[in-house]
Amino acid sequence: GGGDSAVTLLDYGAGNVQSIRNAIRYLGLDIKEVQTPEDILNAKRLIVPGVGAFAAMMDVLNRNGMAEALHTYVENDRPFLGICLGLQLLFESSEENGSVKGLGLIPGVVGRFDSSGGCRVPHIGWNALKIKKDSVILDDIANCHVYFVHSYRAVPSEENEEWVSSTCNYGIDFISSIRRGNVHAVQFHPEKSGDVGLSILRKFLLPNSSITKKPFERKATKLAKRVIACLDVRTNDNGDLVVTKGDQYDVREQTKENEVRNLGKPVELAGQYYIDGADEVSFLNITGFRDFPLGDLPMLQILRYTSENVFVPLTVGGGIRDFTDANGRYYSSLEVASEYFRSGADKISIGSDAVYAAEEYIKTGIKTGKSSLEQISRVYGNQAVVVSIDPRRQYLTSPYEVGFKSVKVRNLGPNGEEYAWYQCTVNGGREGRPIGAYELAKAVEELGAGEILLNCIDCDGQGKGFDIDLVKLISDAVSIPVIASSGAGKVEHFSEVFSQTNASAALAAGIFHRKEVPIQSVKDHLLKKGIEVRI
């Protein structure tokens, strides 16, 4: 493409740039990819997205002369929109990887959020903006939630005051957007912020467009609790990829044919959940442990199609590990993850392989840097790596019966047991491992996980509520966000998990697939209970 309807995009080879591409195309514009520094200087409008690590980005930009071109472009007040790292690079330096120099256009140093004050790091989720000045692209989105995912931030000061157009509070007030003249940058992800985000992008990309929309009427004040829709995907016996849903991980019907339960088509359902107000959509390729996901091209195809129309974060899991195919070709887990990111995933989720990595780490006390978890988080950042835990409750009469962390349970076991530990499993719950959910959670946090997706085999598909004992145990053990999963049956289960534990998000599958409880009614209920959610 070219001409006036083209926007220039700088892809320096890290993170999920696919999401921003999809949003630009959705708004009807062509994308011109930056190949040389001249492409930057000649751009009519330039977008610099950013997910990944600061040092890796600056390294690439400095080596190929792009940093200098960017400096000139911004200094000349040309139309610019930086996103996330694309905002951070304008500052003097970042502490992300030691101390690394940025472009130095805005006074200030990008530092890490402090988790000691009770805020979980990374800052993941939908938070509210405090608009500081007229910023054109943010006009009419005051009081809206927008999606953040980052561990580093710049803070407002007297020196950078003239740049700051909005701040956001997460433990401290940090800079959520800047604007001076034609130069804009945002710390959040407009491409993942639903209709609000698309409206921000539209204002930057199509400043003269005459689409007048009525302003959003919302009441955001702080980080919202997230409601996530999960799609367990697998091939059925006819070879079609379907959304399925198990009872305690058994996804087959209790009929003579014993067929895999089919609850719908993945792309269609994900699109519907986005429209219904899901804050995030997760795909779990539940047979990924035995089928190689890159051989499973339909899964990549599902991601591609879904991400074209779904502008909230997409997570994909299943089968992320090193693999050697039938021809002896070796694929690293990093290659598998990269393929998922390229196809439109914003986060990847690791199950079985993280259990092995944690066991090894606990045994040796050494971080080898070689596990899939460590490798992927080093390249894509912690915030892009979720660890999915599949624990099974094991009752105990005494907490000293095992060497794993146990809890006093609210509901006694079948033989009146008062305690339980939560045994981790691999391969979709098929094999129990000698490690507890508590030990695993702490180990994977140290190895670089940015978030925990906490399932519970006992509760899965039962509709009797989340396992509060388990969610409390894990969300109190780590300082990364925890997603409570398994067992949601009615709206009250969501307020229960948010009021009784420190979960940051709650995930459900069956009730949404069977249309028993609409996402909107979950949110209405949470609002009524005084729990902030994104509307």
Neighbours of 490 (CB within 10 A): 16
Minimum CB distance to ligand 1PR smaller for 71 or for 523: 523
Which residue among 71, 150, 184, 189 is the active-site one?
189
Q: Can you list the alpha helix ranges (DSSP code H) found in 94-193? A: none
- For residues 314 and 278, the answer to whether their CB atoms sit within 8 Å is no
Which residue among 296, 374, 390, 467 is the active-site one?
390
The CA-to-CA distance between both ends of the chain, in Å, stands at 36
- For residues 483 and 456, the answer to whether their CB atoms sit within 8 Å is no
Is 75 among the catalytic positions?
Answer: no
Amino acid sitting at position 56? A
Q: Across-strand partners of 424?
A: 391
- What is the smallest separation between the CB atom of 23 and ligand 1PR, expressed in angstroms? 27
User: CA-CA distance, 198 to 296, in Å (whole number)?
Assistant: 31
Minimum CB distance to ligand 1PR smaller for 185 or for 227: 227
Minimum CB distance to ligand 1PR smaller for 178 or for 488: 488
- For residues 488 and 511, the answer to whether their CB atoms sit within 8 Å is yes
Rg (C-alpha) for the chain, rounded Å, is 23
Maximum Cα interatomic distance, the chain, rounded to a whole number of Å:
74
Contacts 24+ apart (CB under 8 A), 104-107: 104/71, 105/71, 105/74, 105/75, 106/154, 106/160, 106/163, 106/178, 107/157, 107/159, 107/160
- For residues 87 and 54, the answer to whether their CB atoms sit within 8 Å is no
- What is the smallest separation between the CB atom of 98 and ligand 1PR, expressed in angstroms? 32
Is 390 among the catalytic positions?
Answer: yes
3-state secondary structure 420-489: EEEEEEECCCCEEEEEEHHHHHHHHHHHCCCEEEECCCCCCCCCCCCCHHHHHHHHHHCCCCEEEECCCC
Which residue among 191, 460, 467, 532 is the active-site one?
191
- What is the smallest separation between the CB atom of 439 and ligand 1PR, expressed in angstroms? 18
Specify burial of residue 64 (Cβ count, 10 A radius: 0-12, 13-18, 19+). Answer: middle
User: CA-CA distance, 430 to 309, in Å (whole number)?
Assistant: 35
Q: What angle do CA 500, 501, 506 make, to 5 degrees?
A: 105
The enclosing H or E element of 67 equals helix 66-75
- What is the smallest separation between the CB atom of 216 and ligand 1PR, expressed in angstroms? 30
Minimum CB distance to ligand 1PR smaller for 122 or for 510: 510
HSE, side-chain direction, 13 A CA sphere, residue 374: 15
Minimum CB distance to ligand 1PR smaller for 223 or for 320: 320
- What single-letter DSSP state applies at residue 107? E
- What is the smallest separation between the CB atom of 474 and ligand 1PR, expressed in angstroms? 14
Is 189 among the catalytic positions?
Answer: yes
The enclosing H or E element of 81 equals strand 80-83
Q: Rule CB under 6 A: which residues touch ligand 1PR?
A: 230, 232, 245-246, 249, 251, 284, 286, 288-289, 317-320, 349-353, 388, 390, 428-429, 455, 460-461, 485-488, 508-510
Is 134 among the catalytic positions?
Answer: no
- For residues 185 and 81, the answer to whether their CB atoms sit within 8 Å is yes
- For residues 157 and 107, the answer to whether their CB atoms sit within 8 Å is yes
- What is the smallest separation between the CB atom of 453 and ligand 1PR, expressed in angstroms? 7
Is 39 among the catalytic positions?
Answer: no
Which residue among 92, 96, 232, 496 is the active-site one?
232
User: CA-CA distance, 476 to 472, in Å (whole number)?
Assistant: 6
Contacts 24+ apart (CB under 8 A), 58-65: 58/89, 58/100, 58/101, 58/102, 60/12, 60/13, 60/14, 61/12, 61/89, 64/37, 65/36, 65/37
- Residues annotated as catalytic (active site), given as ranges: 84, 189, 191, 232, 390
